[in-house]
Amino acid sequence: MWLPILGLLLGIGIGSALAIPIPGIYAKYLSVAVLAALDSVFGGLKSIIEDKFDGAVLLTGFFTNALLAALLAFLGDRLGVDLYLAAVFAFGVRLFQNLAIIRREMIANWLQKRRLSVQEAKKNG
């Protein structure tokens, strides 16, 4: 449970400590890549809750999404079309969908647990 959170903190810590200089013009691509990464994280959480987790899917999804998003933003800049908005839109929508599913599942789990405990209490009482 704590290992993923530790990983996140470690990533932030190493990122701050290394201070890799990124030129300002690439900031936008990086931002889109971050959005893709967040989408993968929430997708992974959803699949855990739904018991359909697959490590390979998560990892490949993470890398291809982040790369594709950055590439799309780059291509959009070359073409003069704000293609990165497509990535922002797609990932944004998916983020909210995944969050909604996670929330519903958690509420459902909690309600089920409570019902069970109430039944248990009734049986015992």
Partner 1 sequence: MKTGRQTFNKWQLPLTLVLFLSGLLLVMALRSLAASDSNPTRLQNDNLVNLIKTQEREIAGIQADISARRNLINNSRLTSASGKQALVSLQSQIQQLDIVAGYTEAKGPGLLISLDDNRKDAEAAQARNPAQFKPDDFLIHDRNLLYVVNDLRAAGAEAISVNDQRVVASTEFRCAGNTILVNTTRLAPPYIIRAIGNQNSLTRTLDLPESEFNILKMSGFPVSVESSPALLLPAYKGSYQFSFATPKAGS
Q: In the chain, which residue ranges form alpha helices assigned H by DSSP?
A: 2-18, 27-49, 55-79, 84-124
Specify the residue, 42 or 76, whose C-beta has the smaller distance to partner 1.
42
In the complex, minimum distance from the CB of residue 54 to partner 1, in angstroms, rounded to a whole number:
9
Nearest distance in Å: CB 10, partner 1: 6
* C-alpha to C-alpha distance for 65 and 43, rounded to whole angstroms: 12
Q: 51 vs 80, which CB is nearer to partner 1?
A: 51
**Cα separation, 26 vs 62, whole angstroms:** 19
If the CB atoms of residues 18 and 121 are measured against partner 1, the closer one turns out to be: 18
Q: Which residues contact 4 (CB under 8 A, 6 or more apart)?
A: none
Binding site for partner 1 (CB under 8 A): 3-16, 19-27, 30-31, 33-34, 37-38, 40-41, 44-45, 48, 51, 53, 55, 58-59, 62, 66
Report, in Å, the least distance between residue 119 CB and partner 1. 22
Q: How far is CA 16 from the centre of its chain?
A: 21
> For residues 37 and 85, which CB has a smaller minimum distance to partner 1 in the complex?
37
Q: What is the CB neighbour count within 10 angstroms for residue 45?
A: 18
